Amino acid sequence: MLQIISNVFTPLNILMAAGGVVLGIIFGALPGFTAAMGIAILMPLTFTLDPAAGLIMMGALFAGAMWGGAVSAILINTPGTPGAAATVLDGYPMAKQGRASEAIRESIFSSFIGGMLGVMVLQMFAPPLARVSLLFGPPEYFMLALFGMTIIASLSEKMVIKGFISGFLGLSIATIGMDPLLGIPRFTFGVPHMVDGIQLVPALIGLFSIPEILEIIQTHGEKVEKIPSLKNIKIGFPPLSHIKKMTPTYLRSSFIGLIVGLLPGAGASIASFMAYNEERRASKTPEKFGTGMVEGVAASEAANNSVCAGAFIPMLTLGVPGDSVAAIMMGGLMVHGLHPGNALFTVHAEITWTFIFSLYLANILMLFFGTFCAPWFSAVTDTPRHILAVSVILLTTVGSFALRGSMFDVYVMLFFGIVGYLLKSHGFDVVPVVLGIILGPMAEKGLNGTLAISYGQNTLGFILQRPVCLVLLALIAVSLAIPFIRSRNKDKDIFSAPHEPDAM
């Protein structure tokens, strides 16, 4: 334990954590720039670093971005990240009442509490869950991959069927390259670089960054709300009496965030709304929510920060990312040769525990930077968006190239950027595509292994005899039922899209 803590507090790792938090706050605060984009861009830069340092920086960026989104949510009624969507509901009214400082102070502190509680649970439950992964054989991994696909697709914000199409499109892309059974290159079209398959990192960078850059470019010069200067915001810590009063809110919302974070594909936006709703239900004055209730801000922010740690639990233990950002980080893990499962907590225990404990440091740094350094972020939020956009273009290009020193990866990044933009503009989510690319190899190896083990038997019967498979099958059934339940609550056909504007 002392060794791990001393690893966390090396100068390099502190610098990585601080840099990650600052970048995360910036990416989170700028509407259009997301945590996923930030980590996708940053990831190639971490390849030359020690694996622990790279993971620390990415985890810190995630934590910082989850709070950063609250800044624009409170000041300009636009969540900087999806996780801050519920923060808008009471945060912006507070800003309009001249209570912006109070709202931002509450958002930082509740983000800090949510983040810290989340890491504590991650620390307690990840190792036992990693041991459960030892019970997983090929049939279980196949079912787990299917579960990951179904839940992320069924929670797709747009049409559910499009979520499934995106997810299976990702699985199709994952079949490009060397076949795991006979080692025969598939779907390479004679291109030698494709024998290794489509590299995850350039595809991720393209899918997440290029569509956003194109949207940012489009709004250049239009009347887009600029974040008011943070120079005049005075923050500081909330008084102790306030913290005592808000403790039930922090605990309830953090717990909700953790549970939601555990579910693959159920990200921070769902967590923040669920926590907000529960807070309103538990309140003695629910009718005041939406008019500037500090409890609304606290609930949303505590939940969206505890999602970070919650999403890491299935990512580290079972290889199923709980969130799109965790999906990208999983790519980073795999590039460093670290594969999720029990080995992460045994063979690579030092790296894993250093990363987990660094999340405590990241949350403390987020509290520090948010409380004392908010005015400095004005330098970035005041930068014209076209300059930020060209900077992101440079970083995505360089990042893709830095992976293997290959121009082919840059071409892949561009290709997937265009594909991502076309998908998004036609109402498809790109997160299921990413998850499909990540889970594809697991699903294929699982299916091949299952067919091999059950040779001569009824494969379905063989799967149904395994208890873990039965549990996963039940979870798949639940995840497939979720869209129907949601549509009944909203009195809508699951095949219809939510209202989409004419312009895309």
Site of interaction with other proteins (CB under 8 A): 45, 48, 159, 161-162, 164-165, 168-169, 171-172, 175, 179, 181-182, 184, 186-187, 210, 213-214, 217-218, 220-221, 384, 386-387, 390-391, 393-394, 397-398, 401-402, 405, 407, 410-411, 414, 417-418, 421, 425-427, 443-444, 447-448, 451, 493, 495-497, 499-504
The DSSP letter of residue 232 is G
Count the neighbouring beta carbons within 10 Å of the beta carbon of residue 288: 14
Nearer CB in complex with other proteins: 175/342? 175
- Three-state SS for 357? helix
Minimum gap (Å) between residue 439 Cβ and other proteins: 11
Nearer CB in complex with other proteins: 45/251? 45
Minimum gap (Å) between residue 474 Cβ and other proteins: 20
Nearer CB in complex with other proteins: 1/184? 184
Helix (H) or strand (E) holding 186: strand 185-186
Nearer CB in complex with other proteins: 221/461? 221
Nearer CB in complex with other proteins: 231/492? 492
Minimum gap (Å) between residue 107 Cβ and other proteins: 31
Minimum gap (Å) between residue 386 Cβ and other proteins: 4
- The torsion angle over the Cα atoms of residues 8, 14, 17 and 21, rounded to 10 degrees, is 140
Residue 343 CA to residue 349 CA, distance in Å, equals: 8
Minimum gap (Å) between residue 213 Cβ and other proteins: 7
Q: Which residues pair with 186 in a beta bridge?
A: 177
Task: Kindly list the distances between the CA atom of residue 47 and the CA atoms of 103, 210, 244, 345, 399, in Å, as whole numbers in the listed order.
Answer: 38, 22, 43, 21, 10
| Cβ–Cβ under 8 Å, residues 72 and 100 | no
Residue 55 CA to residue 24 CA, distance in Å, equals: 14
Nearer CB in complex with other proteins: 131/193? 193
Residue 389 CA to residue 409 CA, distance in Å, equals: 21
Count the neighbouring beta carbons within 10 Å of the beta carbon of residue 85: 20
Q: Which amino acid is at 121?
A: V
Q: Which amino acid is at 363?
A: N
Minimum gap (Å) between residue 190 Cβ and other proteins: 12
Nearer CB in complex with other proteins: 115/417? 417
Minimum gap (Å) between residue 488 Cβ and other proteins: 17
Minimum gap (Å) between residue 379 Cβ and other proteins: 14
Q: How far apart are the first and last CA of the chain?
A: 52
Nearer CB in complex with other proteins: 299/388? 388
The DSSP letter of residue 32 is T
| Cβ–Cβ under 8 Å, residues 298 and 75 | no
Nearer CB in complex with other proteins: 220/245? 220
Minimum gap (Å) between residue 399 Cβ and other proteins: 10
Residue 82 CA to residue 270 CA, distance in Å, equals: 9
Nearest Cα neighbor of 65 from 325, 313, 318 is 325
- Three-state SS for 373? coil
